Chains A and B, each alone.
Chain A
């Protein structure tokens, strides 16, 4: 013993660590050991290097950092003796991986060891190379490995073959170098070499089609012979497992046959006989036999096998499926999923068994079975299958409910032939597992209900009934609340009762109770509560007797800590107070809610906008929400990026019958720009073709052009708003729509001249010249007259901080040019997408006559594309003039350059 060595033996260290009672103790022991090892490393202690490395490996397995030992591995590998090399390579494989640069340093040692005279040292080097080599090392050492493939020793050959697999995986280009040697390995007798050779061939086929062709031509016969020999071989104790000779070789040969026979009739035909023999003769009472059968079935399914062989394969799977061993059932389900493309009819025969597997206690089996059932559903069997699954939903495990619900929903959506059935199934799912239903699923349900006028009464009543028992299911509550809000009177008056329904009496206050409960329930989230508020608002106009009560409920939420709820209740409260003319305001709010638009600011802005203008509306009742276009919604949900509304779709009669008088008196065809306002990021928002939207159009200052002028692309008319807010994002789309905007705003200006000085086109065309605006040191910009009409003048003055060139502070001054006072004055502005706008509150909402006073309002504008794109803005002013609602709009394009 070296008297200076303080280290303990490996065994003692393991004992010490095992004796530790707490994690802290263990850390202390490890720290002490690591310190000793570091000291030994720095002293370059040679005697105990291998022992220290062994200790480090143990410490590494416990999860402690051991990077300081990496160089020790390299030193041990470089030493001459076998014991040192053995432990050195082990440490290398354990402590390093291919991504560490230290590994490169070992390339030279590896090269030397690959050429070593001792076969065991060559074996060590091959093993290390095969387990952790990087792409660079693979390139450097491939010739050595290839040479070893031609050697004589089977131990070296099999290791070199597996090492080649790693090399090909890292550098697929090298595949062709290994084609020849790999093919010759298949002529060997030694099983280890054969197994490794067959695997190398399989990987070559994956890496390179030339290799696949080459092996198909040269090896198919040889493979069939190997399989024949091994499956007919008499008892061989060395390779025997449960009465079968070398199942591993069986399986690997079968796998390679699958690669070679795929889409190749000739080689497939050559394999038929032996596959039939393996499939019929293999014993299936042990796991080994089943493993071979499993692989054999997969190969039969994979190649161009005869139909008889395929029937045989499917029958084997059927036997597997009824096996009592869970593993066998698991692989059977797995395999049937692949078989369904080959022979759907045969798989259908096992439907009942598969359905039973969905209810298994084993999560892995359940998951597989559910996926399989999903593939099995067709128009003919959807009803019984959906019923089975929904029945099971009630008793299934919590963690499985999510998957199960998602699958049921998609089955029901995909295969529903009649709406009533679809609605019924969805209601069942919602009541059983509403908490697991995804948002887009219940959104789609609402779209369907709103499109089925004859089922709306039935839906709202069923939902009301379901609510009584399943109040804890969030999505059920949402859909129910929405339906009660929309179709509350159908609930109370029993409109459109179907034959299957049981009679039910619900009073107006019962309906309000239900919504109130949803609003006040602790588990309700923000969305549900917000929807409840909207439903209440709608009910307030339909159920006049309950109006006072609803007002009270809404008032209670004025102090809500959630901004959204607080805002809604304050606004709704004022709406109820001035209970008139709130027709579509609520409709739009519902849309906001469903869209759940991420651009909250935009939504809130639009709410302001709408509420600011509600007083101008002339309709009298809270109307139903406009019907969502089902096809367009589903199409959009399916992933189409743009809602493609054809003219006939958008002119489809809608339930909201009120046609709105437009301020400038131009009759406009219905279209759906509203949606685009709320759906700029084009997520799953519904598409709304309906009359009221025209109004919003006008609010936003965009008249619709004649359809003849927009014949080029229907989407340009529907996406005007989109364009307004995304000017300059995609020229291809903006081109036509911009030209549409200009004449229409000119049209709007007929009644009240709005100084649209330059069309948007010019604004955008001016881009190149404005690309590098002059950098004014003082940053002084002239005050401009942004807007002037017979009644109103707006002046903008600008301020900029030199350190923030993107941000401009605009103070707007409004002057009344007419002879009467303007009240309820509201100013709004819209900017392109690349600009952020922040509006501060105005100094007042009353503007005295004859310029005897002004309103000021400041705007903060951040141009994210400062220096590349000029600022543009649309403005809109709403006010009361001689007790009449007025609306003015305009576009500001005369901003000084450099903003």
Chain B
């Protein structure tokens, strides 16, 4: 089971966190501090797993961003690396060659995508296409709602002119 997902930048700034196991706010900050200390200092050629508090944290670096997932000691580390890559590829498709800034300004969209990939710390969908389709459908629902709202407000604005 994946206990949490953290995205940290090279400078130690948190870009996205998702907790599937209960951690209090204070505890979360402590975990992030602790892990960024361990992970950001590791050399480039070392393996992508660090053992931490009886769990394993699998991480992978994409440009200036570290994607970290915390798993149980008996989970498959290599597969988690693939899940991270799966997530990154979907982000890439959605944003069109994603960069850190996309994730900063559209953090909520990154969350929506993650919610289509993981639920309860388990993988939900192995097809990138399906995820993209579901996200697009929901985005268009939002768009239509917005259009409706603006057309209604236009109508009201015209009526009250």
Contacts and interface: CB of A to CB of B under 8 A. Distances in A.
Interface of A: 11, 14, 18, 54, 57-58, 61-63, 65, 81-83, 86-87, 90, 93-94, 97-99, 120, 123, 126-127, 130-131, 155, 158-159, 162-163, 165-166, 169, 191-192, 195-196, 199, 238-239, 241, 246-249, 251-252, 255, 287-288, 290-291, 294-295, 298, 326-331, 334, 361-365, 367
B151 interface: no
Given A18-B104, A199-B122, A294 B78 contact: yes
Given A90-B112, A290-B78, A295-B76, A162 B122 contact: yes
Contact of A158 (B20, B108, B111, B124): B124
A291 B123 contact: no
Given A131-B20, A251-B79, A364 B126 contact: no
B65 interface: no
A364 B49 contact: yes
B127 A287 contact: no
Which one of B77, B119, B128 has the highest number of Cβ atoms from chain A below 10 Å of its Cβ?
B119
A196 B105 contact: no
Given A287-B78, A330-B77, A238 B129 contact: yes
Nearest to A241: B82
A731 to B, nearest CB: 41
B40 interface: no
A259 B111 CA distance: 32
Contacts of A94: 111
Interface string B6-39: 0000000011111110111100010000000000
B29 A248 contact: no
A327 B50 contact: no
28 contacts: A61-B15, A61-B17, A82-B145, A83-B145, A86-B112, A86-B138, A93-B115, A97-B22, A97-B23, A97-B24, A130-B119, A131-B119, A155-B134, A159-B124, A162-B120, A166-B120, A192-B127, A195-B123, A241-B86, A288-B78, A326-B45, A327-B77, A328-B78, A330-B47, A330-B49, A331-B77, A362-B47, A364-B51
Contacts of A238: 127-130
Contact of A191 (B16, B76, B127, B145): B127
B6 to A, nearest CB: 10
Contact of B108 (A87, A126, A155, A255): A87
A592 B123 CA distance: 60
B137 to A, nearest CB: 7
B92 to A, nearest CB: 14
Contacts of B128: 238
A61 B25 CA distance: 10
B95 interface: no
Which one of B14, B78, B104 has the highest number of Cβ atoms from chain A below 10 Å of its Cβ?
B78
Contacts of A11: 105
B32 to A, nearest CB: 8
B119 A81 contact: no
B125 to A, nearest CB: 4
A295 B79 contact: yes
Interface in B38-69: 43, 45-51
Interface residues of B, number: 53
A199 B123 contact: yes
Nearest to A325: B47
Contacts of A334: 77
Contacts of A83: 141-142, 145-146
B88 interface: no
Contacts of B78: 287-288, 290-291, 294, 327-328, 331
Contact of A248 (B83, B130, B142): B83
A126 B118 CA distance: 12
A711 B58 CA distance: 62
A287 B82 contact: yes
Give the 4 A-B CB pairs with smallest separation, nearest first.
A291-B78, A326-B47, A162-B119, A166-B120
Nearest to A289: B78
A258 B99 CA distance: 40
A120 B141 contact: yes
A57 B142 contact: no
A249 B17 CA distance: 26
Contacts of A239: 126-127
Interface of B: 14-20, 22-25, 29, 43, 45-51, 76-79, 81-83, 86, 104-105, 107-108, 111-112, 115, 119-120, 122-130, 134, 137-138, 141-142, 145-146
B123 A248 contact: yes
Main secondary structure of the interface of A (DSSP, over half): helix
B146 A291 contact: no
A180 B154 CA distance: 53
A370 to B, nearest CB: 12
B55 to A, nearest CB: 13
Contacts of B25: 63, 65
A820 to B, nearest CB: 72
B145 A81 contact: yes
Given A65-B25, A288-B82, A364-B46, A165 B145 contact: no
B5 to A, nearest CB: 11
A82 B148 CA distance: 12
Given A54-B108, A99-B22, A196-B124, A329 B47 contact: yes
A640 to B, nearest CB: 28
A365 B47 contact: yes
Contact of A82 (B29, B86, B126, B138): B138
Contacts of B49: 327, 330, 364
Contacts of B119: 126-127, 130-131, 159, 162-163, 166
Given A61-B16, A191-B126, A251-B79, A165 B120 contact: yes
Contacts of B134: 120, 123, 155
A251 B112 CA distance: 25
Nearest to B131: A192
A196 B119 CA distance: 10
Contacts of A155: 134
A365 B15 CA distance: 29
Contacts of A331: 76-78
A652 B86 CA distance: 71
Given A61-B14, A97-B23, A367-B51, A247 B124 contact: no
A191 B125 CA distance: 7
A288 B76 CA distance: 11
Contacts of A246: 126
A721 to B, nearest CB: 42
Contacts of A287: 78, 81-82
B41 to A, nearest CB: 11
Nearest to A367: B51
A372 to B, nearest CB: 14
A256 to B, nearest CB: 13
A57 B107 contact: yes
Contacts of B45: 326
Given A65-B25, A86-B142, A162-B120, A192 B46 contact: no
A248 B134 CA distance: 20
A742 B138 CA distance: 88
A166 B122 CA distance: 10
B38 to A, nearest CB: 9
Contacts of A165: 120, 122
Nearest to A326: B47
A828 B83 CA distance: 73
Nearest to B29: A63
A169 B119 CA distance: 13
Contacts of B82: 241, 247-248, 287-288, 291
B47 A327 contact: yes
A192 B130 contact: yes
Nearest to B126: A248
Nearest to B125: A192
Nearest to A159: B119
A72 to B, nearest CB: 15
A889 to B, nearest CB: 55
Given A11-B105, A251-B76, A362-B46, A98 B123 contact: no
A14 B18 CA distance: 20
